[in-house]
């Protein structure tokens, strides 16, 4: 399987998880404050793990599908752009 088609499927999985979180999180926070079941906690743990994995994959692959890029070039490009702001946002969200 080519890298582009793998990336497409990965992005589709991320989109589905994002939409599921976008719908279920506000409902759970609004109506089920104290009644969180084990299924809900497992779902949140799996989603958080997949989102963290996506963060790591996107950090290592860079902004294009060009495989000839050096890892140090990709890391430098990511660190000089918006990555630090996104990382700080997720860190604050995790602490709360």
What are the tens digits of pLDDT across the range 54-64?
887 777 665 55
Picking from 95, 47, 55, the residue whose alpha carbon sits closest to that of residue 78 is 55
Please tell me the total count of domains within the chain.
1
Picking from 63, 62, 25, 31, the residue whose alpha carbon sits closest to that of residue 44 is 25
pLDDT higher for 36 or 67? Answer: 36
pLDDT, position 11: 86
Q: DSSP 3-state assignment of 36?
A: coil
Segment 32-48 mean pLDDT: 81
Residue-wise pLDDT tens digits, 69-90: 566 666 676 677 667 777 777 7
Picking from 82, 71, 33, the residue whose alpha carbon sits closest to that of residue 90 is 82
Residue 34 per-residue DSSP state: S
Rg value, the chain, Cα: 16
pLDDT, position 86: 73
Domain that holds residue 44: 3-95
């Amino acid at each position: 399987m080519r890298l582009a088609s793998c990336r497409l499927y990965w992005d589709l999985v991320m989109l589905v998880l994002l939409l599921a979180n976008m719908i279920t999180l506000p409902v759970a926070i609004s109506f089920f404050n104290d009644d969180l079941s084990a299924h809900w906690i497992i779902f949140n743990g799996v989603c958080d793990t997949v989102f963290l994995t996506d963060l790591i994959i996107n950090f290592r692959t860079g902004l294009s599908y060009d495989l000839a890029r050096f890892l140090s070039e990709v890391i430098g490009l990511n660190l000089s752009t918006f990555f630090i702001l996104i990382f700080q946002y997720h860190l604050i969200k995790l602490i709360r």
